[in-house]
Structure 1
Amino acid sequence: MAYSLNKLYQSIGVSKQAFHQRMDRYLQERSIEEQILMLVYRVREDHPTMGLRDMYFKIAPIDMGRDRFEILCKESGLMVERTHNLRKTTDSSGVIRFDNLLIGLVINKPNQVWQSDITYFDLNGKFYYITFIMDAFSRVIVGHAISQRLKTEQTTLPALQKAIKSCMDLNICIHALIFHSDGGGQYYDKDFLKLTEKYKIRNSMCQYPWENGKAERINGIIKNNYLIHRVINSFEQLQIEVDRSVFLYNTQKPHSKLQRKSPKQFENEYFCMANYTEHVNTDSKESNC
């Protein structure tokens, strides 16, 4: 195999190193396009008549010029409002896709499935980005990040690191946990996948937004039930208010699907009543009780 690949490199007149450098650049470009398009779909749902030029300056992608942004959006059918059943996905050549592992799955315990999504927050005419990771069973927000850019190292990576740390602090095993998301590039970035591989987390992706509905709903809850009622004039204030809102949601907000208990209360009672020793050691379980 190595001999055949070397012959291939020679036949196209490039070195092995140059070939892989080009491939890495190509994959990085495709990842950036996917990251931007997933956000554009969300903006289009909220602002169906916003022009691409205005959307470009709202999103302000540092890795893509205005003309390329408009061409990409036009090629993806984002000139006009799209309905769910007509939603066009992008050409994913060279882009990593994971199977949807939630199809047919019964979710019956905490830390079995985490679901994640990235939303935007319009502040003083500029978009900022909020990444949430939620436990699909208990609805606890286990990790989140607030950022000024869509880069993986500012969105999904710190949110997942926070979620993992909270489990490690409680000696909770997350091996074989399913991490479910949309197809945004932040969810198949190399550094992100290194982290999921390290902890043996299984990646899962949906094809359509409604297949990640729980994560999308948490965006609306935090923005519309909490942030919209706060006085927020800066990025620093946004960070403080998101942290505060996540705490209030997790610990105090009754949830209709959780017997009118808060997510944390529901999760703690589950650990106690189910004697969940497989994921929580005795000391952690007693403190939860």
Structure 2
Amino acid sequence: MKNYDRTFKMNAVKLSYKRGKGQIASIERELGITASCLYRWRQDFEKFGAGSFCGTGYLKLTLDQSTITNLEKKVKDSELTLEILKRGSKHVALGKIMTKDFIEDNKNKFSILKMCSALGVSRTTYYRRKKQELSNTEIRINILKEEITSIFYEFKQICGCRKIAKELEKRGFKITDSHVASYMKVLGLYRKAKRKYKATTDSLHNHYVFPNVLNREFKVTDPSQVWVSDITYIQTMRGFLYLTIIMDLFDRKIIGWSLSDTMSTKATTLPAWEMAVNNRKITKELIFHSDRGTQYANKIFTKSLDSYKYVRRSMSRKQNHNDNAVSESFFSIFKRELIHRDKLLSRKQLRIEVYEYIENWYNKKRRHGFLGYKTIEEFDRINKLS
């Protein structure tokens, strides 16, 4: 029997209410579920609302029951905080050393994090006050481990030791890549692995083909000197979406992109090109490099690029992905950091995730080895592009 996750069930039920009872059968066919599934899910949702489809090992709670449970948790948490304050407030009044002693004496009864929070003491202060037991080096190591763990999860579990070391350096720590690697191993922090994916290029045609002018010269000295472009596919809960990107090789920024339901030129390369020329001006000769896919080698797209007098076309040679290696590298990073998860997303959710990844993560916060482990925003500020 096929298992469906909570998001799928919830979306199916909401869709059935939106379309009405008369469309139940068509919804079941559309989603590929049995006739009884949607009926059971609707019954479950009507009874438990937001508490529906919680999975095995969890109690199903009605809205009222869920509210009561949350209130009980808050009451219990408040009682715990009050008990810590009753026992520890007099120690706080006597100074930081006495506060440290209280936390040490009660760490088997309450968590250190909870005591620090209740008593208004930072964990850094607590560790510093423990210098009778911990050396300055030990305190520094504890703080470093916390910072490394924080950065690892803040940056989506995809940063290796080198990028984490650069981020630590920005935050005021001096540490080598090898030391970060050692701490990550001790902490059990391993970044997500790369996976292979298939190409989407169809170069078996007789359309507009151009020579490989770029010739793998991927380092440029100015913005809008070379733009590279490529297309990849992404699987969703219902079929595929196609991501087209245009990157400026100067700062590796994605200046144009499109996420489409089809592989047509009007849905892929044209909107990506229009976004790119709106984001960056073309004031001198620009090499636009791509593969020989039909989305790039057709009359419509060629005519659009020809309308800009400074644009010079360049295409990869047949069956030679290394001619467009930077675009291929971006998709490899993109799929490792965003797409390869345990479950497929809906098309709507994927569109949101792709926007967040490109505009708010890749173009702003991600540190790039090619840029000396600066973010694109930091690199552009140095080069007076932003």
**TM-score, structure 1 as length reference:** 0.58
1:136 alignment counterpart: 249
Shift of 1:95: 2.1
State the match for 1:205 in structure 2. 315
Match of 1:124 in 2: 237
- Unaligned ranges ≥5, structure 1: 1-44, 49-58, 60-75, 77-88, 273-284
SS at match of 2:374: coil
> Whole-Å Cα distance in 2 between the matches of residues 178 and 210 of structure 1?
17
Q: Which amino acid aligns with 2:290?
A: S
> Radius of gyration: which is bigger?
2
Indicate which of 299, 305, 312 corresponds to 1:190.
299
**Which runs of no fewer than 5 residues in structure 2 stay unpaired?**
1-195
1:101-132 CA deviation, whole Å, 9 max, x = no partner?
11275622221101111001011262211011
Tell me how many residue pairs correspond in the alignment. Answer: 185
**What letter corresponds to residue 275 of structure 2 in structure 1?**
K
Q: Is the 8 A contact 2:242 2:263 kept in 1?
A: yes
Q: Is 2:354 the counterpart of 1:242?
A: yes
The residue number in structure 2 matching 1:181 is 290
1:157 aligns with 2:270: yes
**Separation in structure 1 between the aligned mates of residue 274 and residue 379 of structure 2, nearest angstrom:** 24
Distance 2:229 2:208 in 1: 17
Residue 96 of structure 1 and its aligned partner are, at CA, apart by: 1.7
User: Compared with structure 1, are the counterparts of its residues 193 and 175 closer, same or farther at alpha carbon in structure 2 (3 Å cutoff)?
Assistant: farther
Q: 1:104 to 1:211 in 2, by over 3 A?
A: closer
CA–CA separation in structure 2 for the residues paired with 1:145 and 1:139: 17
- TM-aligned CA deviation for residue 232 of structure 1: 5.6
Give the Å deviation of 1:174. 4.2
Structure 2 CA distance, aligned partners of 1:252 and 1:113?
Answer: 23
Paired residues for 1:60-75 under 5 Å: none
Q: 1:224 matched to which residue of 2?
A: 336
Q: TM-score, normalised by structure 2?
A: 0.44
**Cα distance in 2, alignment partners of residues 231 and 134 from structure 1:** 29
Q: 2:225: which partner in 1?
A: 112
Task: Indicate the SS of the match to 1:137.
Answer: coil
Task: Supply the AA of the counterpart residue of 2:288.
Answer: F
Q: Deviations over 1:44-80 (max 9, x none)?
A: x7379xxxxxxxxxx9xxxxxxxxxxxxxxxx9xxxx
Structure 1 distance, partners of 2:348, 2:198, is: 26
Per-residue CA distance 1:247-266 (angstroms, 9 max, x = gap): 21010100011011112321
Amino acid at match of 1:253: R
Asked whether the equivalents of residues 183 and 206 of structure 1 are also in contact (C-alpha less than 8 Å), the reply is yes
Residue 233 of structure 1 corresponds to 345
Q: String of CA shifts for 1:123-156, please: whole Å, max 9, x gaps.
A: 1262211011111121000111001110000001
My pick for the range that moved more, 172-181 or 205-214, is: 172-181
Q: Secondary structure at the match of 2:274?
A: helix
Deviations 1:184-224 (A, max 9, x none): 01112222112211123211101111110000111121221
Change beyond 3 A, Cα 1:166–1:224: same
Q: Distance in 2 between matches of 1:145 and 1:230?
A: 25
**One-letter amino acid of the counterpart of residue 183, structure 1:** R
- Which of the pair has the greater relative contact order for Cα pairs under 8 Å at 6+ separation? 1
CA distance in 2, matches of 1:255, 1:230: 26
Task: State the Cα RMSD in Å.
Answer: 2.5
Matches of 1:160 and 1:174 in 2, distance apart?
Answer: 16
Q: Which residue of 1 aligns with 2:169?
A: none
